[in-house]
């Protein structure tokens, strides 16, 4: 793969990923109101699926231009642009690693939590048992963090961080990553209370106490300034549980994921069909020729 093709693929991933983030930002609140936070959170699978669909083999069409338009446009500056991207990627990755190390230092001092740390083998970090939380509140905190582990949320967060580093110059990717983490918390809240419907008031008090006492996580959530505060949203949703809509919600979200993934693949520029291979058996069209050896006179065969 040439540098032009690599850069063109990176640009397509960012364009499609950004458009998918805009679509999810527009759909997440209506879906949350109709189907609840758990199902609405599933919409965030669309941006990475649609972005990675651009890396699949493109469709073939007769008359398609053999040259990639994006690759042809950036061809003269592909080396410099790739170097700039690599420097930005290294800077963002270093910043994420530093934030993670700072948080892990706080864990070692016993001043962090509650949270879940780790990707391959996640572990729960509980706040210090200093009397701030009652035993019932600590049980709810453990249930919340265990729900994160069961739903594999740490891996989703790690993927979001990786995409932030990969697409560091795309503001929509950063916005989507932060809002994803908020929706992740809303979905986890709903999952815990679905199993403990009688603990809504205690859960709200615990959530308020946790938000006011804990330090920001290194990969904290972000909410646009004109919108409600995340804590207000989370506590507000505790008062309005959603009814089960059967298969309607999952089917609608699955259809949306398929459509976005397909559209991401369709945005790939088509390529011309490969030249047909000449069939070898058609080359032998002449008459068959036989060769017979005749000995020279006076010589034995």
- In the chain, the DSSP E strands lie at 115-117, 123-125
What confidence score (pLDDT) does residue 222 get? 33
Distance separating alpha carbons of residues 8 and 78, to the nearest angstrom: 9
Distance separating alpha carbons of residues 122 and 154, to the nearest angstrom: 7
What confidence score (pLDDT) does residue 221 get? 35
3-state secondary structure of 261: helix
Cβ burial of 154 (10 Å; 0-12, 13-18, 19+) is: buried
What are the residue boundaries of the structural domains of the chain, listed by start?
3-273
pTM above 0.75, yes or no: yes
What confidence score (pLDDT) does residue 225 get? 41
Cβ contacts of 21 within 8 Å, gap of 6 or more: 47, 172, 173, 175, 176
Q: Could you list the mean pLDDT of each consecutive 10-residue stretch along the chain, which spans 301 residues?
A: 75 89 93 89 93 84 59 65 90 88 82 81 82 88 90 88 91 92 89 87 82 49 47 72 69 89 83 61 53 57 48
Bridge partners of 116, per DSSP, are 124
What confidence score (pLDDT) does residue 267 get? 79
Bridge partners of 46, per DSSP, are none
What confidence score (pLDDT) does residue 24 get? 95
What confidence score (pLDDT) does residue 218 get? 46
Is residue 9 a contact partner of residue 54, using CB atoms and an 8 Å limit? yes
What confidence score (pLDDT) does residue 223 get? 36
First to last CA, the chain: 61
State residue 117 phi and psi, 5-degree precision: -120, 150
DSSP at 76:
G
């Amino acid at each position: 793969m040439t540098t032009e093709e690599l850069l063109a693929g990176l640009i397509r991933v960012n364009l499609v990923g950004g458009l998918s983030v805009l679509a999810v930002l527009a759909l997440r609140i209506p879906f949350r109101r109709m189907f609840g936070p758990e199902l609405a959170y599933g919409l965030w699978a669309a941006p990475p699926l649609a972005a990675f669909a651009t890396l699949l083999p493109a469709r073939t069409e007769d008359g398609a231009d053999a040259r990639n338009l994006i690759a042809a446009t950036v061809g003269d500056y592909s080396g410099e642009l790739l170097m700039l991207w690599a420097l930005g990627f290294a800077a963002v990755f270093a910043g994420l690693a530093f934030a993670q190390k700072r948080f892990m230092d706080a864990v070692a001092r016993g001043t962090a939590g509650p949270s879940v740390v780790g990707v391959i083998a996640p572990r729960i970090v509980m706040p210090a048992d200093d009397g701030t939380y009652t035993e019932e509140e600590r049980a709810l905190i453990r249930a919340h963090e265990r729900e994160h582990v069961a739903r594999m949320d740490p891996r989703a967060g790690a993927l979001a961080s990786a995409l932030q580093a990969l697409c560091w110059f795309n503001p929509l990717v950063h916005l989507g990553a932060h809002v994803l983490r908020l929706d992740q918390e809303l979905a986890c809240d709903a999952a815990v209370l679905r199993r403990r419907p009688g603990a809504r008031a205690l859960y709200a008090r615990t959530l308020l106490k946790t938000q006011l006492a804990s330090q920001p996580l290194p990969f904290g959530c972000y909410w646009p300034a004109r919108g409600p505060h995340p804590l207000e949203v989370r506590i507000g949703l505790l008062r309005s549980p959603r009814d089960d809509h059967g298969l309607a919600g999952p089917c609608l979200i699955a259809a949306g994921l398929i459509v976005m993934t397909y559209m991401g693949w369709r945005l790939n520029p088509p390529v011309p069909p490969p030249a047909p291979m000449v069939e070898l058996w058609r080359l032998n069209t002449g008459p068959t020729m036989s060769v017979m050896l005749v000995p020279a006179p006076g010589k034995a065969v």
